[in-house]
Structure 1
Amino acid sequence: MRFNTVLFDLDGTLMDHLPAIHRCYAHTLPQLGLPAPTYEQVKRAIGGGLENAMVKFIPAARLGEALAIYRPFWDANLLTGADPMPGALALLERLHARGIVCAVFTNKLGTSARQVCAHLGFTPHVLQVIGAKDTPWLKPAPEFTAHALKLLDADPATTCLVGDSPWDVQAAHNAGFPCFAVTTGTHTADELRAAGADGIYENLTALGAAEFLVT
């Protein structure tokens, strides 16, 4: 095994949370006098953190007002429509059993990420769940990746990232290690290829077999 540490993105990679996210946008925007976005519009907007996604639908000046509606509804409903991606738990279990350090590295709010990881059974197999508001940074900021490596006592030479977006690719490459991508999230194979992903797979099962020899 050439990797001692594997960082995993969460949404679109280890889990499908898009139905819950869309539901929260559909709850929030009409209360601001704006049309509810479609599922596809929300899918294309997310990935860079909640604030960055939200201002694609509302004026920046109304962000605080929108978050005051969104966040309580999210906190009350985030486990409804939170489902593991096929093969996610098995991959985490097998890597952990081999002594590989696994961690969740996400732009999802850290408190929400830890709650859903516990709910889905991921927590026993990951050393850390690192998310938004845990630090001042988000992916792909080099400081955020450096923070994760330091927290895990990880060497970039034996680390990789598994994700589903150009932010994941850039975050990994900024730190000098590869990013293997799945197309189960918000971006297509062509988009991931253009971003420079080191390997692109249709799901975690295929990725695990190819990159980690997990079958």
Structure 2
Amino acid sequence: MQYILFDLDGTLIDHFTTIHKSVAFAQRKLGLSQSDYSKVRATVGGSLPITLSKLCGEDKVSLAEPLFRKHFEEIIFDDVFTLPGADWLLENLKKRGDRLGVFTNKYAGHTRLVLAHLGLDQWLDVIIGTGDPDCPYRKPDPLFTAHALEQMDCASEEALMIGDSPYDLAAAEAGCIACYLVATGSHNTEQLSEYTVSNYIYKDLHELGEKLFGLELPK
């Protein structure tokens, strides 16, 4: 059995349009110029306060965050979809007996809602996000990674992490966890290669499932 932690946004799901709309809403309310989609997408992964500090200014985060959350919760299921291969990968890993978890900087309540909406929660043993009373951490805080390992009930040498950004790699390194990246989120293959060796990077979940886990590709 393997213990596998997955990031969420850009790894298993695409929620970038909803995030972009919610950032734009906050910026409009604050009288700020609106960031385009590509700029917003490139900032996702480090946690909402980091994203908003880059897009709205550090001094506006406390004002922008409640505006973002309000709009995001109103449109949370709009424009969200699973990335190609997500269902196939999770289902096949679960069927072979692996323990699977989502480990994300997304607010835990939103994470659970979206995973249930998309039907991905049926394959998951553990869902770990930010904002729960027992989890005041964010990637790449080593305490967040330690919390994830505790929830997965495994040691770091037994775990793998799958993500799409340098934040995921840093979170894995903070817990001495092997990390593999897919170029389906905030960073492309060339950008990811600045942070790790190329044989730890895959173009998508289908390639990762086939080459890393030895799964047969769907017909």
Tell me which residue corresponds to 1:15: 13
Partners of 2:188 and 2:92 in 1: CA distance: 27
Tell me which residue corresponds to 1:100: 98
Contact 1:170 1:195 in 2 (8 A): no
Contact 2:40 2:55 in 1 (8 A): no
TM-score by length of 2: 0.93
- C-alpha displacement at 1:176, in angstroms? 1.5
Tell me which residue corresponds to 1:133: 131
Tell me which residue corresponds to 1:171: 171
- C-alpha displacement at 1:61, in angstroms? 2.8
Partners of 2:166 and 2:84 in 1: CA distance: 22
Tell me which residue corresponds to 1:180: 180
Is the partner of 1:6 in helix, strand or coil?
A: strand
Aligned length: 213
Superposition map of 1:1-215 within 5 A: 4-134=2-132, 135-196=135-196, 199-215=200-216
Letter in 1 for 2:46: G
Contact 2:140 2:168 in 1 (8 A): yes
Contact 1:12 1:185 in 2 (8 A): yes
- C-alpha displacement at 1:148, in angstroms? 0.6
Task: Specify every segment of 5 or more residues in structure 2 that has no aligned partner in the other structure, as ranges.
Answer: none
Partners of 2:107 and 2:15 in 1: CA distance: 13
Partners of 1:193 and 1:171 in 2: CA distance: 17
Partners of 1:87 and 1:32 in 2: CA distance: 39
TM-score by length of 1: 0.95
Letter in 1 for 2:112: R
Letter in 1 for 2:125: L
70-79 or 56-65, which moves further after superposition? Answer: 56-65
Q: What is the root-mean-square deviation in Å for CA atoms of aligned residues? A: 1.3
